[in-house]
Structure 1
Amino acid sequence: MHASDASTEATREATPAALAAELLDLWRVILKGSTRDLYKLLAEIDLSMTQLKLLHVLVECETEISVKELAEAMSMSLPNASRTVDGLLQRGLVERREDEHDRRIKRVGATEKTRVLVDRVDTARLQGLECWAADLSPVQRRRLLDALSDLPKERSQ
């Protein structure tokens, strides 16, 4: 980094847009060199990104949720969510049952197979991030770790 770069960095306002642009640049660098194994795994399990996102949502839920709630959580139409659930049900990745109070409502949840699968995907992501972090200097890793540990872990609603 040049001296003029350092002064520009020090005087640049930390707006949400400026931070978002830096995070996007970082995201691209991380993805560029750390996702080969993740993409290989995704090809192996043959799931669309929508299906994978749906499985992540279900694994994160503490209880079964209705297909309607799932559709809302994923910002997708109810028919699309229902079709996606049907496909995952055929593969044994979700369980579906009628609600005990209202038989018109279908509740869905993750299977153990899904939990294992999502853990494999998360492990591949983590390994890619570890490879990227290994290229940082110890000082860079410490500074980044300190900055990240100060951030909220959940997005406020």
Structure 2
Amino acid sequence: MAAEMLALWRLLLAGSTRSLYAMLADADLSMTQLKMLHVLVECQTEVSVKEIAEQLSMSLPNASRTVDGLLQRGLVERREDEHDRRVKRVGPTQAARDLIDRVDTARLQGIEAWAEDLSPVQRQTLLDALSILPKERRK
């Protein structure tokens, strides 16, 4: 089952990979920075550098350097925690949210291109299968 899911994932992303890499090159971002931005946008609230490091399985120094790079590009904001000045909180800027929206749009366009080749029966079967899956991921 997992191998089939991976094959599907690759098919779905194949149509957007080139545009995604071009977008990252234009923004001068690494995949690590992109992953961090995705997490920050999904969090809906500021998080500490330590929390983001744990969520991405990064060392604290690496997470801090990644935040610094994003801060220089104007993609995150960083401030001291109100209760503990040793803790730095970070959150995405509107520019980061816009970038993640463009990335998601590129991915969606790739998926739409793939889905255009499905027959009506295949499309309905896929929709039926997706409708029974959990809507939220497990934590």
Which TM-score tier does this pair reach, normalised by the shorter chain? over 0.9
Structure 2 unpaired stretches of 5+: none
Q: Alignment identity in percent?
A: 77
- Asked if residue 85 in structure 1 is aligned to residue 67 in structure 2, the reply is yes
2:51 corresponds to = 69
Whether contact under 8 Å (1:37, 1:128) holds in the other structure is: no
1:138 aligns with 2:108: no
| 1:51 alignment partner AA | Q
Residue from 72, 91, 96 that aligns with 1:109: 91
CA distance in 2, matches of 1:122, 1:107: 25
* Pairwise CA RMSD: 1.2
Between 1 and 2, higher relative CO (CA 8 Å, sep ≥ 6) is seen in: 2
Q: Could you state the TM-score of these two structures normalised by the residue count of structure 1?
A: 0.84
Aligned equivalents of 1:104, 1:85: Cα separation in 2: 16
The alpha carbon displacement at 1:125 in A equals 0.5
Contact 1:94–1:110 (CA<8 Å) still a contact in 2? yes
Q: How many pairs align? A: 139
| 1:88-145, Cα deviation, whole Å (9 max, x unpaired) | 1011000000001110000000001101111010000001100000011111011001
**Residues in 2 aligned to 1:40 and 1:108: alpha-carbon distance in whole angstroms:** 26
AA in 2 matched with 1:151: L
Rg larger in structure? 1
SS in 1 for 2:58: coil
